[in-house]
Copies of this chain bind each other. A is one copy, B any other.
Amino acid sequence: MSKGTFLGEFEQVVLLAVQRMDSQGYGMSIRREIEHRTGRGVSIGAIYATLERLEKKGFLKSWEGDSTPVRGGRSRRHFALRPEGGEALVRSQGMLDQMWDGVEIAGGPEVQ
């Protein structure tokens, strides 16, 4: 079982943001979700590159949304998790949990 089976750090974040937005997410909104949720600044290029990679790997799917009636009309590309994406998330976090199990960080919190 070498690397291919685990998600990269940012891949996890993006996949989680997609899931949070429950099939309503698209590039720009996914970016906002991550920024608001974590305080982390992300470039728009990083978002789309990662979404594309995740889709190519079969972890998520996308489709064209209806062009919206708001000003600024380019149509949105929506994203949603595939079951494989959910499994990959659970597997990746599960692996980290295994590593965290019983670990104490000096001056920090003990984790399980």
Contact = CB atoms under 8 A, between A and B. Distances in A.
Interface residues of A, number: 41
Given A1-B41, A2-B40, A9-B6, A100 B105 contact: no
25 contacts: A1-B40, A1-B41, A2-B40, A2-B41, A5-B40, A9-B92, A12-B96, A13-B95, A13-B99, A16-B96, A16-B99, A16-B103, A17-B99, A19-B105, A20-B102, A34-B99, A38-B95, A38-B98, A40-B95, A83-B107, A87-B108, A89-B105, A90-B105, A93-B96, A96-B96
Interface of A: 1-2, 5-9, 12-13, 16-17, 19-20, 34, 37-42, 81, 83, 86-87, 89-90, 92-93, 95-96, 98-100, 102-103, 105-109, 111
